[in-house]
Structure 1
Amino acid sequence: MVNTPIDEYALLSDRHSAALVSRSGMVDWLCFPRFDSPSVLAALLDDQAGTWCLRPTHEGPVSRHYLDDTLVLCTEFSTPTGTVAVTDALSTGRCDNPHRLGSGSPHLLVRSVTCTEGTAEVTTDFRPRPEYGRVVPLLSECDGGMIARGGPAVLALSSPVPLVLDEHADAAHGTAHLRAGETLHFGLHWGPMTGPAPRVWSQEELAEQLGCTVDAWRYWSREHQDYRGEWEKEINLSGRVLQGLGYQPSGAIVAAPTTSLPEEVGGERNWDYRYAWVRDAAFTMDALWVAGCPDEAEEFLRFMTDAAATGWTRSHLQIMYGIGGEHDLTERRLDHLEGWRGSRPVRVGNGAWDQPQTDVYGEFLDTAYRYAHEFDDAGPELRDFAVSLADAAAELWDVPDHGLWEMRGEPRHFLYSKLMCWVALDRALKLSDRLGPAARIDTWRQVREEIRAAILTRGWSEEAGAYTQAFGYPELDASNLQLAITGFLPADDPRMLATIDAIGERLTDERGMVYRYHTTSGVDGLSGDEGTFLLCTFWLAQAQALAGRTGQARETFARAASHANDLGLLAEEADPHTGRMLGNFPQAFSHIGLVNAAWTITRAEQGVRDADPSLSPVPDHRHVPA
């Protein structure tokens, strides 16, 4: 059974695909050539589903870090005879344009091992298992490495040391003795079975690919990351993680690079997050406004406009798309995989793709408003798309849906969905001078006020003493913190304060971490429980800051941020009993929450009323005093 804790892993990204590398030097998750491609290494989900190990034969203490301003990982191993550093990167290729990081990706994983002191023996063990472990490829020796054939792709392993095949020719092993100052470079290159064949790379070529990847990430960081102030390190790392979750060819952004890491150990709440949710991607763009550079907005807006191009009728805006713009994301189970810590089923695809969720109109238009300047040079397609979304929000706001948490129970009148329809119309009205004559200003204004009245009357529960998850129900939901964050209500409104207090007191675990909602209500149609949700805890910190409770906000923020691993990476959830990571990893939502909460707290302490940047779409004021 797979028992490696989620927080033991590090993320590598070339902005096409992702790999997870453990502290012990195991690459236990790798998908080529896209984030959502079938894995070639998946020991993260089953011991028999493929891994690649590179580490000292005799291990000791381990430390690791990302090279400055990159997602290139350095893991330092101490051994009885010396020290070894393993540097891992998914090659981005050369980058002469900071807006095109990853455009030259050769689909190559580079691993370099250096003896930094004394002497050390290093071991490599290569066990590829394509198609989520269904394929056991045949390995054959070639000059400078191994070729793995089986399934729809071919893999070429570059190795500077002789490799020995096991008796079934489906795994290869090798060892080398290094002295201080000596370096060896390894590489894993992917290619399609019917296209250009992958090849073995020379030591000089691998060193060059590693170097240009370091340079490319630093170039992007230098040109894009200008946030200065408190939590600068955390915010800039989150910006790089969010950039690393972007699919460069299309501008799509994945919610996470993994599938089926569970929300409860041994439970069924295991989902594939390797797709482009409208909601998650819009939130990512909002956070990149603070942590990165607004230039990514053009790619995102173009992707969404193109992906949804089916006549732009209200019924065709999906909540998510494939990263290449695909619409059909039909879910299936991989029953041959045991799952992380026995958490089954393992799923690929996502059955929520065709759910009606009306909040997506507001999330997209909120982001579009923040990047309003993009409309100045855009063609009519973007303007027409924005108008169609506002019209859809006006028409559909009072229709029950499945909500932002993608409930698999019966549709309800979720308050958050109504709120985001209000946001859609509010932001469309603020964009009306850029939307042209198609803007239906009078209708949008009228419906916006109807939604406001409905939320204020039907959304409040006397029984709960708070705004609640759905009209007519007493259950709390952390998403109602967005009433303050979006500017629908002042955070110091008495009912808003009551809602903040209710969530902080009754929707938290004993450590003060916030649940999305209580699963015992049965509203989500699933069995079992889940962990506390990091994004929701950051939302609580944000709302507390907006209410002027900056001391409370700092404490809440610190609780959530403490769940980062040693590299600063955050998963989706935390186990309420142990505090360990749960859910897909690293999670865009969690890094988004960190960025926005840190920004809001800082601005609130400066006395700035519009602490959330969604209320101020000028993308050039991210510098704050230390």
Structure 2
Amino acid sequence: MEQGAISDYGFLSDCRSAALVGRNGSIDWWCPDRFDAPSVFARLLDPAGGHWWLGPVAPGRVQRSYERDTLVLRTVHHTPEGSVAVTDALAAEQGARAHELGMNSPAVLLRVVEGLSGRVRMGVDYLPRPEYGLITPYLREQDDGSVLARAGPAVLVLRGDGLRLRVVDDRVRHTFEVAAGQVVGFDLAYAATHGAPPARRDAVPGVADTVRAWQAFRESHHYDGRHAEVVRQSATILTGLTYARSGAVAAAPTTSLPELLGADRNYDYRFSWLRDFAMTMRAMWVAACPDEASRLFAWAAYSTGRIGAEPVPVVFGLEGERDISEHFCDNLAGYANSSPVRIGNDAWRQRQLDVPGEVVSAIWKFRDYLGAQFGAELREMVLGLTEQVAATWHLPDRGIWEHRDAERHYLCSKVLCWVAMDRAVRLAPRLGERADVRRWAGIRDEIRATVLREGYDERRGAYTGVLGSPELDAAVLYLPVVGFLPAQDPRMRSTIEAVERELGADGGLIRRWADDPGGFLLCSFWLVECLVLAGQRERAERLFEEVTGHANDVGLLSEQIDPGTGAQLGNMPQALSHIGLINAAWRLTDPRVD
């Protein structure tokens, strides 16, 4: 059984971990302890990496959808023998409702097979491979018909209602028939080897309880703007990417899905980026999730700690870990032989000067929600970030795209330094005696003058990616979004036209730079916002519809799209793509600059 296309996968989450299930019924990715923990299934990255397939022996036509406002996936298989539905979920804690979702998830995969018509022969192929495929576990048939897998740090128990599962060599292979009206449930429970044993959840009531938990959560959030259906779906996906115990939002639940097939631009995105902070906060607010926004503030304050002269890391582990050093899994071939497979992300070592601006901007936007007086940690964070920008804005950095070559004077980084100083000046009344408004305002004005003087290339008729360089970078579309320049400013209008003309591709896609292999979805949504701000609402609406049309059949967006084939590229689902969608929909609803 081969790896599916990236767009073939559906996303399951219990707000602790994630699983990806293909259209063919194979769960090819699951890191049960938490999003960034070692996998027990990794066929997504290597055919031998482990999987759990459950589906009709005779393939047929497939229809998929999520139960409304959930990440419980229902797949209907229409075969020559009849039709059968398989419902997949990562179990919520029993009885969990609304904001309890994910706080104590039991790490159990649930699968319910329901006969719809005829009599369909079903197959099971279960091949667990813990530690990113490094370990072949012992499989033992149990008296109750279940199978115990034990190896290294992981214990797994697979059960099927009324079935006695059999071990064949190093896997479970089993077939059974399901007739119309018949229901068969499976549960696969994980536990650490040296902890409490795996907890059983009966599949049928467990799925029903998980649906109720998700729907109770979404019922407490109301979005009244344009494109409500896709916004609600994207908000649900963002919730699924939230690590409930800390409030951190993972950039994606996967690692090393490539930006270009066969190349080495493939990174581990199972962490939380401060760089994305303001956009994430805005999307959560738009989607009416203020509680999650508040928790994300707290996570950021505690993760950064007391800020000194060293650059604030751009990315943290989900519980605030700072050192997430990168290494390679040489035993995995990579998706479509796109190696290496990376675990960890060395971007945590980079200087990225936009980070403080993202954070301070978010605090400014949510100032009223946070109250007249900030908590001590939040106040210290704003003061520390502002002073760091004051001392370092003139330095080169790696930019928001986290380039791994030489540091440069990236224009967007300078603009976000301006944002940090501008918002800090506005926040000064809440920051106490240490707010140095006159000095901060002077630095803010100096940064702005530098960008306006050195960032515009007269021959290209555009603001460019690096000060003094003629090379275009779609990151400049962020300038009107953060209020640095109005979209109708003649130079900004010329810049937007240049980006569309030279970095645009079919399908409403925008590349980040000229030789970027794919259209970067966030940049396409930034263009939607720019068009609204430039007064071109009808064009913006058409572009929004075109870009959202790149989602797969269950509404998931990856990081990039291949302009030639329309194939999804990069880690998926990608938080930034869904954040961009939500924020663009709101800009179409309310065009005011934040």
Q: CA deviation at 1:2?
A: 5.0
Could you tell me how far apart the structure 1 residues matched to 2:507 and 2:70 are?
A: 33
Question: CA 1:199 to 1:69, structure 2 compared with 1: closer, same or farther past 3 Å?
Answer: closer
CA offset at residue 228 of structure 1? Answer: 2.4
Q: Equivalents in 1 of 2:206, 2:175: separation in Å?
A: 23
How far apart are 1:563 and its partner, in Å? Answer: 0.8
TM superposition shift of 1:353: 1.1
Q: Structure 2 counterpart of 1:207, which letter?
A: V
1:411: which partner in 2?
407
> How far apart are 1:510 and its partner, in Å?
4.4
Say whether residues 1:246 and 2:246 are aligned partners.
no
Structure 2 CA distance, aligned partners of 1:602 and 1:282?
A: 19
CA distance in 1, matches of 2:199, 2:363: 43
Partner of 2:542: 555
Paired residue for 2:359?
364
C-alpha distance 331-434 of structure 1, shift in aligned 2 (>3 A):
same
Q: 2:91 matched to which residue of 1?
A: 91
Q: Please state if 1:459 is matched with 2:455.
A: yes
Residue of structure 2 aligned with 1:166, choices 165, 168, 171: 168
**Paired amino acid for 1:244:** G
Question: What is the TM-score with the length of structure 1 in the denominator?
Answer: 0.92
Deviation at 1:377, TM superposition (A): 6.5
Residue 496 of structure 2, aligned match among 490, 495, 500? 500
1:470 aligns with 2:471: no
- From 293, 303, 315, the equivalent of 1:320 is 315
Report the Cα offset of residue 509 of structure 1.
2.4
Per the alignment, residue 573 of structure 1 pairs with 560
Residue deviations 1:16-70 (CA, integer Å, cap 9, x gap): 0100011111100100111000110010110100000111222211101000111
Distance in 2 (alpha carbons) for counterparts of 1:597 and 1:469: 22
Q: By how many angstroms is 1:95 displaced?
A: 5.6
1:438 match: secondary structure:
coil
State the partner residue of 2:581: 594
SS in structure 1 of the partner of residue 259 of structure 2: coil
TM-aligned CA deviation for residue 292 of structure 1: 3.5
Q: Which residue identity lines up with residue 150 of structure 1 in the other structure?
A: A
Match of 2:347 among 347, 352, 355: 352
Unaligned runs of 5+ in 1: 520-528, 605-609, 616-626
What is the DSSP-based 3-state SS (H/G/I as helix, E as strand, rest coil) of the residue aligned with 2:401? coil
For residue 281 of structure 1, report the CA deviation from its aligned partner. Answer: 4.0
Question: Counterpart of 2:17?
Answer: 17
Match of 2:212 among 204, 211, 215: 215
Superposed CA RMSD in Å reads 1.5
| Cα distance in structure 1, aligned partners of 2:364 and 2:309 | 20
In structure 2, the residue matched to 1:515 is: 511
Q: 1:482: Cα distance to partner?
A: 1.1
Contact 1:125 1:173 in 2 (8 A): yes
Instruction: Tell me the matched-pair count.
Output: 591
Cα deviation per residue 1:206-253 (whole Å; 9 max; x = unaligned)?
3232122101100110002x1124311100000011111111111111
User: 1:333-379 CA distances to partner (integer Å, 9 max, x unpaired)?
Assistant: 11221111111111111121110001000111111122212254652
Distance 2:252 2:246 in 1: 16
Task: State the AA in 2 paired with 1:267.
Answer: A
Residue 43, structure 1, aligned to residue 43, structure 2? yes
1:289 aligns with 2:277: no
| Counterpart AA for 1:82 | G
For residues 240 and 31 of structure 2, what CA distance do their matches in structure 1 show? 14
- Conserved? CA contact 2:157–2:188, under 8 Å: yes
Q: Are the structure 2 counterparts of residues 146 and 427 from structure 1 closer, same or farther at C-alpha, using a change threshold of 3 Å?
A: same
C-alpha displacement of 1:282: 3.5
User: Aligned partners of 1:482, 1:417: CA distance in 2, in Å?
Assistant: 11
Cα 1:348/1:464, change in 2 over 3 Å = same
C-alpha separation in 2, matches of 1:378 and 1:147: 51
Give 1:380 shift: 0.7
For the structure 1 residues 363 and 53, does the alpha-carbon distance in structure 2 shift closer, same or farther, using more than 3 Å as the test?
A: same
Q: Which residue of 2 aligns with 1:176?
A: 176
Q: Distance in 1 between matches of 2:225 and 2:525?
A: 18
Once the 2 structures are TM-superposed, how far is the Cα of residue 437 of structure 1 from its aligned partner? 2.3
CA contact (8 A) 2:400 2:412 kept: yes
Displacement, 1:447? 0.9
Deviates more, 1:327-336 or 1:87-96: 87-96
Contact 2:278 2:362 in 1 (8 A): yes
C-alpha distance 175-96 of structure 1, shift in aligned 2 (>3 A): closer
DSSP-derived class of the 1:300 partner: helix
Q: Matches of residues 17-416 of structure 1 in structure 2 within 5 Å? A: 17-94=17-94, 98-142=98-142, 143-160=144-161, 161-167=163-169, 170-201=170-201, 205-224=202-221, 226-309=222-305, 311-372=306-367, 373-376=369-372, 378-416=374-412
CA distance in 2, matches of 1:538, 1:4: 27
Q: Distance in 2 between matches of 1:114 and 1:154?
A: 28
Could you tell me how far 1:3 is from its partner in structure 2?
4.2
- Give the aligned residue type for 1:19: A
Query: SS of 2:466's equivalent?
Result: coil
Conserved? CA contact 1:253–1:281, under 8 Å: no
Q: CA deviation at 1:514?
A: 0.6
TM norm structure 2 = 0.97
Which residue does the alignment assign to 1:526?
none
Stretches of structure 2 that go unaligned for 5 or more consecutive residues are none
The 1:163/1:518 distance shift into structure 2, 3 A limit, reads same
